[in-house]
Amino acid sequence: STRFGLPGLASENSYSKTPTRVTKFVQLGMKQVSGSSENGMGYIVQLSDGRFIVVDAGFAYSSGDGGNSGRFIVDTMKKLQGNNNKPVIAAFIITHIHTDHAGGFMGLANACANQVVIEKLIYNQPSSSQMNAVSNMSGRKDWIPSAIKKLTNAGSLKSVVKAHPGQVFHFADAK
C-alpha cells in the first residue's frame, strides 16, 4: 500500500526471526599486552539470525602457546554459535584506530583471514595528513588498509562502509 504517495516498503524492511535464538551481547575477555596498562575493548553481538556484530576487538597479540587475538575472536564466536561452522560477521565496526580497539581486527586478518566471512567493515579512518599531524598515529595509517587487503584476498571481506555521523544500520533484529 502507499501512504503520502510513497510505496509501501514493508517487504524490503522485514526479516525472519529465528524463534530459538535470542540476541546476545558479550564483552570479549581481553588479554593485557606486555608493557601496557590497558586490556583493550571489544564486544561481540550475536544476532537472532546467528550472525555477529563485532565492535572493536582489542589488541593484536600472539602468545607462545599459539594463541592470538584473531583465533580468540573466532573461537569466541564458534562457542556462541554452538558449532564449528565459519562465523558470519554481519558488521565489524572499528570505532577508532587505537591499538586497543583496532588491533584485534588486524590480528584476525593476519591469523584467521579465511576462517570468517565479514559482510561489512564499518569504519572511518582519518586522512593521512590528519594522522601524520599526530606523532603516534603516523605509523598506523596502513594498518586497516593492509588488513582489508588480506581479508579481501582471502575472499572473506565483502564490503567496506565509510561511517558518517547519523548513519543508521540494520542487521537482523538490531538497529
Quick: pLDDT tens for 54-64: 998 877 766 55
Q: Which three cell numbers stand for residue 26?
A: 558479550
User: Is residue 51 a contact partner of residue 18, using CB atoms and an 8 Å limit?
Assistant: no
- The percentage of the chain sitting over the pLDDT mark of 90, rounded to a whole number, equals 32
User: Is residue 71 a contact partner of residue 112, using CB atoms and an 8 Å limit?
Assistant: yes
- Other C-beta atoms within 10 Å of 105: how many? 30
Report the run of H or E that residue 90 belongs to, with start and end: strand 88-93
3-state secondary structure of 149: helix
* Pairwise CA distance, residues 121 & 85, whole Å: 21
Each residue's pLDDT tens digit, 82-127? 999 999 999 999 988 877 778 888 889 988 999 999 999 999 887 7
What is the reported pLDDT for 8? Answer: 47
Question: 591499538: which residue's cell?
Answer: 99
Q: How far is CA 94 from CA 15, 54, 57, in A?
A: 26, 8, 8
Report the run of H or E that residue 122 belongs to, with start and end: strand 121-123
3-state secondary structure of 159: coil
In terms of Cβ atoms closer than 10 Å to its own Cβ (0-12, 13-18, 19+), residue 160 is middle
* Pairwise CA distance, residues 24 & 47, whole Å: 7
What is the reported pLDDT for 171? Answer: 86
